[in-house]
């Protein structure tokens, strides 16, 4: 008899709509929906999705307690033996929702699994509470993600012991497991040190976390004489998006002149960002990039002046490595132009 599975997906993969319906309240449908159909085929009769929870990304992230209760009650109502969520790829809110769903099921003692891009914020928050498989950064990797998830979930359901992440393929969870060795710790440590000195490959038994720390700069002492620049990951660009900045997973950023411009309007600017409802940003781009407010402060003498160029890209699914690289480039350019401070806006 096939294992009974609950599948969690968002409003997009549930066929309900995009960002305009990200507040969609959770609903449960019998059987498989969207990517669940492919998962069912991949299970090859050993497991079956008996119900699908569909929930808007905004709703789940903004109502986590309510969403968690619904997920727990649905698992119980359908006598589920496991839960699978996503895959979420590099969609941040979707990753958080999938992580929540998998963690709720795991807390009830059920095998649970989700999958997402390693840089998805859901990984760092939920990796200790549930198994997370790595995926590509977009739904182009759906085929591989479905195949990997089906194999891993069946392994969980079989009761087989899950080994280390490097052998099983899941993202490291930060969970420490006791192990027995013939050599004492001091001998193993010396052996690893010698390998490190010789440049040979070795694997530490206690991997240390890596923290990305940024030392804050001193505050401005004379704001009334300072030149302030605007930089945004909210995707505000001149009408027509001349640099073709992608709606997600951006590959570039743009630099745009606002010298003498007192206000951004629907006729002059728009957003290129595909990760939020564009309606209000397109009605008044100042809502994301506050040129009008900075011009007012400039006129009142509260700041020295607004820098003549703003920089823009989208943070939606964009690789952290790219964001770091562009941040360094933009910062160097602004520093060379004598800018004293930057206001960073998102969405």
Query: Residue 162 — pLDDT band, cuts 50, 70, 90?
Result: confident
Burial call 263-281: b when 16+ CB within 10 Å, e when fewer: ebeeeebbbbbbbbbbeeb
pLDDT at res. 27: 94
pLDDT at res. 327: 93
Strand partners, 3: 47
Please state, in angstroms and rounded to a whole number, the distance separating the CA atoms of residues 87 and 9: 8
Identify the CATH number of the domain defined by range 3-168: 3.40.50.2300
Give whole-number Cα distances, 82 to 4, 11, 41, 44, 98, in Å.
7, 21, 17, 16, 14
Residue 180, pLDDT > 90, answer no
Query: Residue 273 — pLDDT band, cuts 50, 70, 90?
Result: very high
Please state, in angstroms and rounded to a whole number, the distance separating the CA atoms of residues 30 and 78: 10
Q: Which of 225, 228, 191, 197 shows the shortest CA–CA distance to 304?
A: 225
The answer to whether residues 53 and 32 touch, using CB atoms and an 8 Å cutoff, is no
Residue listed under structure tokens 């809502």: 287
Per-residue model confidence as pLDDT tens digits over 83-114: 999 999 988 889 999 999 999 999 999 999 99
Residue 315, pLDDT > 90, answer no
Per-residue model confidence as pLDDT tens digits over 13-71: 999 998 888 899 999 999 999 999 999 999 999 999 999 999 999 899 889 999 999 99
The beta strand positions in the chain, using DSSP E, are 3-10, 27-30, 47-55, 82-89, 112-116, 131-134, 227-232, 236-238, 254-257, 269-271, 305-306, 309-312, 341-345
Query: Residue 270 — pLDDT band, cuts 50, 70, 90?
Result: very high
Which token pair is 53? 């929870």
**Alpha carbon 144 to chain centroid distance?**
19
Report the pLDDT averaged over residues 114-120.
93
The pTM of this model reads 0.69
Pinpoint the residues of the chain covered by CATH 3.40.50.2300.
3-168
């Amino acid at each position: 008899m096939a294992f009974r599975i609950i599948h969690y997906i968002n409003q997009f993969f549930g066929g309900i709509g995009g960002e305009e319906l990200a507040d969609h309240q959770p609903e449960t449908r019998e059987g498989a929906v969207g990517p669940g159909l492919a998962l069912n085929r991949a299970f090859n009769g050993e497991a079956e999705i008996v119900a699908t929870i569909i929930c808007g990304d905004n709703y789940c992230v903004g109502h986590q307690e309510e969403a968690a209760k619904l997920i727990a009650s649905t698992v119980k109502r359908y006598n589920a033996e496991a839960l699978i969520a996503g895959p979420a790829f590099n969609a941040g809110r979707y990753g958080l929702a999938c992580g929540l769903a998998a963690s709720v099921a795991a807390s009830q003692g059920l095998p649970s699994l989700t999958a997402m891009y390693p840089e998805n914020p859901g990984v760092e928050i939920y990796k200790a509470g549930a198994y997370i498989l790595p995926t590509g950064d977009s739904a182009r990797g759906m085929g591989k993600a479905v195949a990997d998830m089906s194999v891993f979930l069946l392994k969980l359901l079989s009761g087989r012991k899950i080994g280390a992440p490097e052998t099983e393929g899941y993202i490291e969870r930060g969970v420490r497991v006791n192990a027995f060795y013939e050599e004492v710790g001091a001998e193993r440590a010396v052996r690893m040190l010698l390998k490190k000195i010789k440049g040979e490959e070795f694997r530490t038994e206690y991997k240390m976390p890596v923290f990305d720390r940024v030392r804050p700069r001193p505050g401005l002492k004379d704001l009334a004489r300072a030149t302030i620049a605007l930089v945004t990951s909210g995707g505000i660009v001149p009408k027509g998006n001349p640099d073709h900045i992608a709606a997600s997973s951006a590959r570039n950023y743009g630099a745009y002149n606002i010298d003498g411009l007192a206000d951004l309007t629907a006729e002059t600017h728009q957003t290129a960002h595909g990760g939020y409802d564009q309606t209000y940003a397109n009605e008044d781009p100042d809502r994301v990039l506050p040129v009008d407010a900075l011009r007012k402060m400039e006129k009142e003498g509260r700041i020295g002046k607004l820098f003549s160029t703003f920089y823009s890209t989208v943070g939606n699914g964009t690789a952290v490595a790219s964001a770091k690289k562009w941040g360094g480039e933009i910062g160097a350019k602004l520093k060379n132009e004598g800018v004293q401070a930057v206001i960073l806006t998102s969405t």
